[in-house]
Every structure is written in structure tokens, then in C-alpha cells.
A and B are shown apart, each in its own frame.
Chain A
């Protein structure tokens, strides 16, 4: 049986599934329920500095988008950091860590961008026995207007500075949580590394407006007829998060920097994908908020079953295995030629592949053959783009089949070359290098 115990920057947990800093981790009550359900760790809901607690809106804080059958695909929130007393949180953190010593308990922090503010809070957290801290440089709403959260996360110099302060003032591991609301995630990640961060975690939420009420013309969620951009999360943001994780994992300047993967993790499969791209573990928020804590059972068993099936004994056996396969476009093999193939036994004749290809792509799928409704790929036209595969409602009905070297590509009339060749050496590239002999 696969061993899924996790060691993330020295913080140990029985599995790599942590709850991200958010409402599920705002109170002892919730966290204890989570641990009972089997979660490996939590990042406590972000604490702010001592003083009058944060105030949240008193109307709706969430907006959402849904797929078929109202399956929640994306959630958006305008909630701020914890609105409970600092001392209450610290007391509960200490109690929980004492009661659940085998679980990871990391505390998320967000205080003003002044060294004294950080110096003040770090010893208080340390005193609880927590395993580490996570610096919330990500929250894109509310706190950023006050010069915190993503206002810091969008300026690499600030990230580096604050990270350094923390490293200088605590023995606890420091995880820097990054905002995706920037153009190139590598810069904040590099800054965190320069500041001495033990790890980065990403992504925090994406700035968003989920919808507009067409009767009131108010953005959702609507607070008395007005809305404010919120932070977007859930399955919809996973592709964004995966890319950002991969970018950091393969950046020579940050290679090897531990990453905690966050963003849309809903199943064991999502988790495995993040980890394959280089994440040492994952954090989950929306999936838990949608289905409750029990989903972790599926995640634990699913991950183990897959690892057993594939012969991965420990997490380290597959963490980062996909990272080397992420490359730049210019290095993709242009001699890799595929053609769509429709399995006629599986085809239910909905015609979606045809109309997608016909209207919007390459006119490479028939609709009628000899007077009968029949969908078949015209290899002379197919560029192998995969659109038909993606719109087909039947899994496995349309597949992409690579042409073997030496075969004829009926579209170009050329024989498929047996060698790898990319854009850097392509004759159409004005900046082409001379191909190696």
C-alpha cells in the first residue's frame, strides 16, 4: 500500500491534503471537524494584527458560476481575513495543535507592511506551537485597498522585504502565498526565494466579477445594489494555478523551492496533477466548502489506489515528474503529426464534432456520407487540433492518433519525418538557428 505521508518543509502530516486558509479553517470547531474527517493539515484562516477585529460585509459574500445541473464550477468571495479576536484565534490554535499533534497546523498572517507589525505577531504565533506561517500576499479585495494582501503580493520588492523580516524574527518555516493577479508569477516567486522563504503556496484567488443581475444591474454578490470585485476560486481556476505552479517549478532561479499547490483541487486526480508538476502538497478550499470535509476520504483513497496501480511507493516518487515535460512552445516537436479518429461504434451521431470543425475550424469532418448521417474525419483537411475531441460528449469516441514516422500526412502531402524538429530550426523562422548536422 502506498505511503502518502507528507513532509513539507519539515512540517509533517499524514497525507498531503491540507485545507487552505479560508472559512473552513477559521475556528477550532471547523478545524477539529476537518481533522476528524481525515485532513492532513490546515492553514488557519488569516490572522491580522492585535486590535479591533476586522469587519465583514453583512450581506452576501459569495458569487458563483455553475455548469450543468448546477454543479459549482467557480466561486467568488469578498470576505476579508478573520473577523474574530486575535487572542481567541491564538488560544484555539494552541489547543488544536496540542490535541492533534500529528496534523500540520500552519498559521496564515497578514499585518501592515511594517517590520514592527510582523515583529509583534510572530512571537504570539510561535507560542501556540504552530508548525509554520503562511504570509497572505494574495487576498485581492478589501485588504489590498489597505496596502496589504495582493497589494504586497504584486510588488516583488515588498514580498522580499516582508519575507526577510519574518525569517529574521521567527524560527518557524515561512511559506509565502502568492497572488495570481500579476502578469508573470516567476517574479514574486523569485522575490520570495531571495527573501529566504522556505516555500511558496499558490494560487490565492483571482480578481473577478462572477455575474451581473440584469434586473438591478448590480454585480454579484450584491450588497445593497452595489458589488465589488471578489476573489475567484474552485474548479474554474485550476488550469491557471497548474500553469503558475509549473512556471515556478521549471524556472531555474526557483527550481527546487517547495511549492504548496492551491486552486481548484477537488479530487485526488487534481492533487496528483499539481504534485506531478512540482507541488509538494496541496491545499483545498472551495471543494470542501461545496461538499463538506468528507471529500478528503475520496482524495486519500484515490491517491493511494492510483499510486499502487502505478507502483509509486511514496509521494516523492511522482512529485515533479511532469515538470521536465513542461517546455516552451518553440521546443515542441513539429514532426509530431496527429489525426483525429472517430470510433464509429461509440459515435452517437450528435454532429457536434462536425459543426465545430465545419463552422469554426478546418472543415475536416463529414456530416453525410452516401446520403446517410455519418461523421468521419477527412484526413486531407485535419490539422490535428483536438477541438472535436474536446466537444464530443462521449469520452473516448474521438481520439488523436499520431502518424508513424514514414507515413504520409495527407494534408501536407509530406512524409512524417522520424526526427524531432522544432521551431528554432524551422525554415519559416526568420531567426532560425542552423540545424545541427
Chain B
């Protein structure tokens, strides 16, 4: 049996060790000062800038870019952090091509938007590298707030609450803070331990305690929090994974894409991380793309994304799809999984059925195709898991499987706010979670001291 790159089945060490470092290095390397100045000069300082309106956290983009252009990167960083304390992560992971940069007037003018994300990274990196803190806590209010989940929503909420002088305790089920920043985002978008560095930067304002390994529903109940704290913010993200409902789903080699990525993100040595020779990823969103690309970067020979609708229906942006293609991932459309082909308890292939839209409904055409696969990743969406709400799930109003909140993040329960992926109405992006966490903090603050 061949070793290395062409090893059969699911195997580790497909690449030379140096290749791993290269494959998982920064997707968009940081700007140096010269590049930043040249790029900043391109900004037109638009009136009521469209980019700013397109940013879910409404960062004053023309202002921060002008500050870079005038040699004031620290002032620029503050402009960013004022609206988005996770501006550093967002600079790396935001799909800018569908947010600020899509709205940039230079996109209309010449198809080349100002590279807002990279400029944002330049400013925030400068401030973080210099350990520069911009915020002091207001005088203590004596109010205590519990936050569930140390993801972007929980962190943004906690930071803003702490600024206002409240005491915050974050309960986080996982051993590390950061949420999907730490366990989900593609490795090449946030290399070099940036997620933890950012958590440290945010926490250094003080007044925020994180209790890791503490899960709502397992270690305590929502009622405990509402009894012991002045307010509660739920930022628990999406803990559930949608089921495939295909035969053979339980065979070895069939995994949730998010689990695979979490393992990858936590791996100390990527050469020890096994990956299939033939990988199929089922799904059409960012998770599918990330799982596929990272499989390829780990050395999988063939990686195919199978999506049950057309290219135009994919949640992954055009840019993400191109990135996948550039990395050698094949994307196939109009295919839905029917049966995992299993030999000796292991997946060896996937039978898929062609699909079509008839009268607006997706139907199988009856025609099938079988693809070889020794590893199959399910990336058909995460879902909110209401079980930890322990009965309060019935009391908290839900809608379409997620927590229902008003414009300020208030749930139907008094004293309880929520934001991020776990609420209805966001767009499942880091930046939206930050915006919702921040806005909920302002609402909590108004309610408590208003």
C-alpha cells in the first residue's frame, strides 16, 4: 500500500512537514506600512459611506482609513474598536466581498474595491502589537451580569458591559474561550493563535471573569442565573448539527464538518491529523467550503463538494467558491446524498441522486451516481440546541428553531437577552454576532442603570 500522499483510506502525514506550514499560512498576508498607505490613499472618503452602511457593526470606515493615511494607525484602531471590539478577527474572517467591499464605490467604479478588511487588520494589528488599550471602565455600578458562551457575541457583549462598569461572568462550556473563532473559523484565516490573543486583548479591560468548562443545562440552569445575576446574556451559538437522513450515516468515515474543523483548529501537529484520500463534503455554505479546502490542504487527493441545488443558491460567496476551486476542490451541483456505501463498517463511497427544481420544489430525478469516498463531511447546517435551556426553552419564545429577540436583543423572558447565531434574524457571521452582543449590552445597561 502506498504511503504518504496516496495512502488509501483516512491517513495522516500525506505531505512533507514543511508543506503543512505553507498550506496553512495566512490567506491574505498582512499589509506592510507602504501597502497600507497606498491602499488607504484609494479611499474617496465618501459621504454617508455605503461601506459603513454595509458593515453590520457600522464601523466608520472612511474615518479609520483616513487615519491610516495620515499616519495615525492607533487612532484608526480606536475608531474600529469603538464599534467592534473584535475588529481584528472580523478583518480576517468577514466575507468583505459581500459586505463593506461589495458596497465600496470603487467596486462600482472599477471593480476593485478598497481593501477595507486588510486595512482594518493593519490598524487593529498595530494597536494589538503595541498592547494599546483604548478603554477604561466606568465607575463600578455594582451590577452583575452572566453571559453564556464566550464566542464573538458573548465577548462583545461582555466588553461593552465591563466598559459601563458592570461585573461580568462568562460561562463557557468549552475549555477555551473564543467560540467559533477558536474552534470553527478556517485555520488559514486566523493563524498564529490570533483568536486567543484577541480574547486576551478584550479581557484585559478587566471586570470579566470566564468560567471555562461550565455548561448551561449541565452545570447550572437558566433559572440559577436569573436568580443570582441582574441580567443574563445568551450567546451560545449553534451547538446542534443537522442530520443528513441518508442511509449509512453512522459508518466510520462520516463526520460532521464542524467537528473536523474543530479538531483541526486544536491540532498541535497537522501532519498527525488524518484525512481521506477521496473526500466528499455535503453542503453549500461557508462550512462546506472550509472543510473542503482544509481537507485539500491536508493532502487529500480528491475533494468534491456536493450541493443539492445550483451554484446561484449556494450560501458560500462567489469569492469563497473561487477560493475552493483555486485550491483544487471540485464543486458539483444538483446532487443529494442517498446512501453511504459501507464496507467493513467503513465508508467507501456515496450514492447521490440528481435533483431538479420542479414548480419551485426540489425533487430527486431518480437518476443516481456513485462517487468514491473514504471520508464524508456533513456540512448541511448547524442548529440551535434548546435542550440546555432546560425547560426554560418552552418559556423563552423561539421561532424557526432559534431564540426570538427584539431589535435590542431582549428575549421574551425578563432579565434575559440573547444574540449571535442562537437568535433568529442574524446572518450567521462573526461580525453580526459582535453587533448583536454589543447592542444587547447597551440595552442591558440602559435597563439596569437607565
Contacts and interface: CB of A to CB of B under 8 A. Distances in A.
B105 interface: yes
Interface stretch (A101-109, A192-200, A221-229, A347-355): A347-355
A348 B48 contact: no
Given A69-B38, A394-B109, A349 B44 contact: no
Interface in B28-70: 37-38, 41-42, 44-50
Contacts, number: 35
Contact of B44 (A70, A350, A354): A350
Contacts of B42: 68
A411 interface: no
Given A69-B38, A373-B50, A348 B45 contact: no
A252 to B, nearest CB: 46
Contacts of A69: 38, 41
Contacts of B49: 351
A351 B41 contact: no
Contacts of B47: 350-352, 354-355, 367
B106 A68 contact: no
A368 to B, nearest CB: 9
Nearest to A375: B47
Interface string B74-115: 000000000000000000000000000000011011000000
A349 B49 CA distance: 9
Contacts of B41: 68-69
A351 B48 contact: yes
B235 to A, nearest CB: 33
Contacts of A393: 44, 109
Contacts of B105: 348-350
Interface in A17-74: 68-70
Interface residues of A, number: 14
Given A69-B38, A373-B50, A352 B44 contact: yes
A350 B46 contact: yes
Nearest to B106: A348
Nearest to B41: A68
A238 B42 CA distance: 25
Interface in A193-225: none
Interface in B8-42: 37-38, 41-42
B50 A349 contact: yes
B108 A348 contact: yes
B46 A352 contact: yes
Contacts of A348: 105-106, 108-109
A351 B49 CA distance: 8
Contacts of B45: 352
A86 B210 CA distance: 80
Contacts of B46: 349-352
A146 B44 CA distance: 47
Nearest to B38: A69
Interface string B338-357: 00000000000000000000
Contacts of A355: 47-48
Contacts of A354: 47
Nearest to A365: B47
Contacts of B108: 348-349
Interface in A342-382: 348-352, 354-355, 367, 373
A135 to B, nearest CB: 42
A99 B271 CA distance: 72
Contacts of A373: 48, 50
B171 to A, nearest CB: 44
Contacts of B48: 351, 355, 367, 373
Interface in B104-152: 105-106, 108-109
A373 B50 CA distance: 9
Contacts of A352: 44-47
Interface in A159-181: none
A65 B50 CA distance: 31
A352 B44 CA distance: 8
Q: Which of A348, A354, A355 has the most CB of B within 10 A?
A: A348
A349 B107 CA distance: 11
A63 to B, nearest CB: 17
B249 to A, nearest CB: 48
A266 B109 CA distance: 27
A350 to B, nearest CB: 4
Contacts of B38: 69
Contacts of A367: 47-48
Q: Which of A70, A349, A394 has the most chain B CB atoms inside 10 A of its CB?
A: A349
Nearest to A354: B47
Nearest to B46: A350
A367 B50 CA distance: 12
Contacts of A349: 46, 50, 105, 108
B108 to A, nearest CB: 4
A393 B105 CA distance: 10
Contacts of B109: 348, 393-394
19 contacts: A68-B42, A69-B38, A348-B105, A348-B109, A349-B50, A349-B105, A349-B108, A350-B46, A350-B105, A351-B46, A351-B47, A351-B48, A351-B49, A352-B44, A352-B46, A355-B47, A373-B50, A393-B44, A393-B109
Given A352-B44, A354-B47, A373-B50, 14 more contacts: A68-B41, A69-B38, A69-B41, A348-B105, A348-B108, A349-B105, A349-B108, A351-B46, A351-B49, A352-B45, A355-B48, A367-B48, A393-B109, A394-B109
What are the nearest 10 A-B pairs in CB distance? Answer: A351-B47, A355-B47, A68-B41, A348-B105, A350-B46, A348-B109, A350-B105, A348-B108, A350-B44, A351-B46
